[in-house]
């Protein structure tokens, strides 16, 4: 006979304004046997606001591995557990991914509720391209990690989204300027809270602004992706002083067939393939 097991619910909580919690989230929290909270003190504020009384256990980044197995055991005992973080959706730059993986491994039921997240709120506020975006969470602190962090993102055309703390904002803006160039940026501060603020300007302009203003609160940085014009200009710089033959060889050495290299060179130089093909005959 199959043993009865409970269910884990990953419940998003407001990123600032307590009214942003969904009716379904409140229902799940009210009906759960137990709440696993990133910070029990923070969660108590939410519970008290809605007059909900439930037993709490802590579940944060420093005890996530050990506590996950404790939660798994409780789920197997038949308990229903609501997992919440301080703000936003569990598993997105917050604890939650580990317990999800363990539930999958153990074949236990879990349900992810939709709800608040600062990522999409800031993205829409930014006014930048929303058709494609890349979220990278918090930018690393160490210089070595930082030097590698944006390496693969520099040429992305998609909009980039980051979280940042106030005491690191100035150094991060300088890092973004040095790594990405002077792109458009939207700096979203204290989203949904009383002092919510959205600033849209260039990265250099943002540096100038925060040299005069002390950063305060929680930030989401939304940075424009690399423009097609910039990409094309950089590609042109690579070959504009080359002969057609050298241009073809460059792509062949990069692994392209001669046929594909001819096609690409013709496109970049905006001439017919037949002309470029004649230059490839001796290669």
| Domain match, 149 and 102 both | no
CATH number of residue 78's parent domain: 3.40.1010.10
Task: Look at residue 39 in the predicted model and tell me its pLDDT.
Answer: 93
For the entire predicted model, the pTM comes to 0.81
User: Can you tell me which residue has the tokens 């569990």?
Assistant: 90
User: Does residue 1 sit within a domain?
Assistant: no
Q: pLDDT tens digits, residue range 114-132?
A: 998 999 999 999 999 999 9
193 vs 86: CA distance, rounded Å: 14
Contacts 24+ apart (CB under 8 A), 45-49: 46/13, 46/14, 46/18, 46/21, 46/84, 49/18
User: Does residue 157 sit within a domain?
Assistant: yes
Among 112, 141, 175, residue at a domain's last position: 112
Task: Look at residue 40 in the predicted model and tell me its pLDDT.
Answer: 94
Among 64, 80, 112, residue at a domain's last position: 112
The domain in which residue 238 lies consists of 229-280
Task: Look at residue 236 in the predicted model and tell me its pLDDT.
Answer: 65
Number of domains in the chain: 3
Phi, psi for 162 (deg, rounded to 5): -135, 155
User: Does residue 182 sit within a domain?
Assistant: yes
Task: Look at residue 266 in the predicted model and tell me its pLDDT.
Answer: 80
In this prediction, the residues of the chain whose per-residue pLDDT falls under 50 are: 1-4
User: Does residue 271 sit within a domain?
Assistant: yes
CATH number of residue 142's parent domain: 3.30.950.10
Task: Look at residue 1 in the predicted model and tell me its pLDDT.
Answer: 33
């Amino acid at each position: 006979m199959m043993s009865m097991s409970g269910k884990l619910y990953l419940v998003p909580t407001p990123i600032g304004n307590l009214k942003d919690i969904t009716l379904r989230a409140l229902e799940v929290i009210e009906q759960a046997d137990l709440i696993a909270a990133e910070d029990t003190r923070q969660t108590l504020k939410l519970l008290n606001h809605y007059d909900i009384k439930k037993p709490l256990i802590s579940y944060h980044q420093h005890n996530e591995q050990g506590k996950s197995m404790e939660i798994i055991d409780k789920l197997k005992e038949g308990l229903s557990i609501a997992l919440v973080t301080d703000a936003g959706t569990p598993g997105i730059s917050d604890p939650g991914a580990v317990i999800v993986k363990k539930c999958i491994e153990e074949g236990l039921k879990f349900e992810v509720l939709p709800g608040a997240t600062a990522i999409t709120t800031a993205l829409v506020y930014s006014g930048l391209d929303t058709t494609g975006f890349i979220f990278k969470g918090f930018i690393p602190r160490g210089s070595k990690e930082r030097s590698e962090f944006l390496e693969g993102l520099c040429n992305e055309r998609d909009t980039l989204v980051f979280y940042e703390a106030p005491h690191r904002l100035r150094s991060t803006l300088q890092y973004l300027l040095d790594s990405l160039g002077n792109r458009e940026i939207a700096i979203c501060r204290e989203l949904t809270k009383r002092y919510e603020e959205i600033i849209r300007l260039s990265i250099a302009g943002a540096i100038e602004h925060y040299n005069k203003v002390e950063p305060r609160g929680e930030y989401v940085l939304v940075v424009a992706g690399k423009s097609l014009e910039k990409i094309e200009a950089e590609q042109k710089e690579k070959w504009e002083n080359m002969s057609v033959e050298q241009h073809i060889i460059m792509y062949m050495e990069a692994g392209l067939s001669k046929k594909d290299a001819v096609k690409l060179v013709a496109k970049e130089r905006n001439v017919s393939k037949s002309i470029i093909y004649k230059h490839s005959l001796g290669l």
